[in-house]
Structure 1
Amino acid sequence: MSNTQTVQALFRPFTLGTLSLSNRTVMAPMTRQKSPNGVPGPDVAAYYRRRAENGVGLIVTEGTVINHADSSNQKDVPFFYGEAALNGWANVVSEVHAAGGKIVPQIWHMGARGNVNEYSEEEIAGIVQEFAKAAAEAKRLGFDGIELHGAHGYLIDQFFWEKTNQRTDRYGGSFVDRTTFAAEVVKACREAVGPDFPIILRISQWKGIDYSAKLVQSAEELKQFLAPLVEAGVDIFHCSTRRFWEPEFEGSELNFAGWVKQLTGKPTIMVGSVGLEGDVSTFFSTGSGSGNASLDGLIPKLENQEFDLVAIGRALLADPAWVKKISEGRVEELIPFTPEALQTLH
């Protein structure tokens, strides 16, 4: 990574339907709890604008919750419903677009407080419609697409995972049957936004409470798992792993995003400790943060088209100019992800 030639693959344009990006970098969604009473204020708009001004190809907002009683269990997480919150998001969109950026909201439901068995089919239908309403609002506000959060043990993922979904109706059963809820959410959102509005689905094997968890054990199972989601209308899969450099299955060097792209033919976003010396869990377990890491292991995978887009999380959280500095070869100026840097987030 000694010069800009080395990272050239990161800075090629990407186009999918109506979504046209100047480069392959994505700001990963990161919860900040900076929206009092669920309303994102001017400071939130400025936070995202700074990343757009510094060359991020696509911004995925922090998780923003739908209108349901269980959708949030954290204070000051933004809503994606109600006049005040939606007006706040309209301002975010305006600021990002004014800086030349593209942005999608991550539509989120944090999950059942017990497990998904407790929801009646009628309540599930209502939740599906709330996702669709949020998707329609995103299009109305001028966002460039939406991302549905189906990873990390939150609601959609609770339906995916056997440990949290032991229903005996059509929402439970095999790992394929457990995609039913997610497929219904995607279909409802597709109906709400039309055929050309990009829908991204974030998925993961691991859970926030279990880093070793697996939805599927093999590439063949993954293919079966993904098929209903593709049919429902997912345009891009956002594939979350702890460490992008680790193979997903034995016998191949492909990571999770690589396998999903190969099996579906759909574009994928790869995310997992990009730009960090260690994986993201290190910060939470030790509080030590992470120094900046070389991208040498990443670029060849991107050049080989194993995946299409690269999401950067905590490295971009600490340094809003991360993308610009990388593109200009100013790696010595990168601000490392440390507790001190997080005290002065901007």
Structure 2
Amino acid sequence: MAVNEAERSAMRRALELASLGPRGVNPQVGAVILSPTGEVLAEGWHHGAGTPHAEVDALSQLAPGAARGATAVVTLEPCNHTGRTGPCAVALIEAGVSRVVFALDDPGAVSGGGAERLRDAGVGVEAGEQADAARALIGGWLAALRLGRPHITVKWAQSLDGRAAAADGSSQWITGHPARADVHRRRAQADAIAVGTGTVLSDDPALTARDGDELHPRQPVPVVIGARATPSDAAVRRHPRAALFYDTRDLHAVVADLHARGIQSVFVEGGPTLASAFIAAGLVDRVLVYLAPVLLGGERLALTDIAVPTIAEARRLTIEEWVPLGADLLAVGHPTSVNENDDENEGAG
């Protein structure tokens, strides 16, 4: 049975409701319950870990039996497992819902399978309605689920000859205003922004995301990694979000803790030591390199040791796009996979 206009409208509303929920360990999910004639009976969304899932949140607003014969429109396949809450598929079956329309399959090995359970109970199921919009909404959660850790972007700005700073250590500003504005826009899209203690001590960055002179409504959690102490009057301590400090060089432990806290994406800003450590550890999913048309010379390289002893072991990147930003140029790429290398080698024949 094809999705009708009332269900399409309900899915658009469910996506709006989903966006009200917090980003974190659990996905943002919204639900709308429709009567057999297409009228909205109830709405709900997931308010955070440990709270009722979107379907149950919506059902809780109805009197017993009021959902019998109704249609549930949900942004993610109803779950099929018992955690801190029960299986949503079972809740819908017990409520007497006769049809479920959802946008995305639940990719969880434990939580997936709700659609099959619904069908086995005689409930009509339609999957894929506005899937692209739902995927865009919870893309960070999907990436973190796939990776088993946050999605990590490493960013740096450099001169054409690969320097991050001049001989005296000054680095503001290598790039122009359009490039810096682009950085702030990308900061606001991340859940956390990470720097090393060296950068905190030398530059005293605020680590905020700004739109001109104003703070962006969405701010990343500042993360400082390194053994040296952060001064009590450091700008990062005045950030709108409480900073996280890690006195360790074990980046895998840091990333695991961030993942446990519900951080889905990390924006690594520097400096060269921290950026190089993430690359050497294989903890990079995307690279942003802002290239400025200046020459600096000297020893202050944008990257240091990234564990490449020979050219055969170079860490190759696949460039996704080149973005002109005023006089500067942004390279957006990701580490080249084995399959991509194989494709290139086949093409070279």
The reply to whether TM is greater than 0.5 is no
- Flag the structure with higher helix content: 1
What band does the TM-score fall into relative to the shorter chain? under 0.3
**Greater strand share, 1 or 2?**
2
Which structure: larger Rg? 2
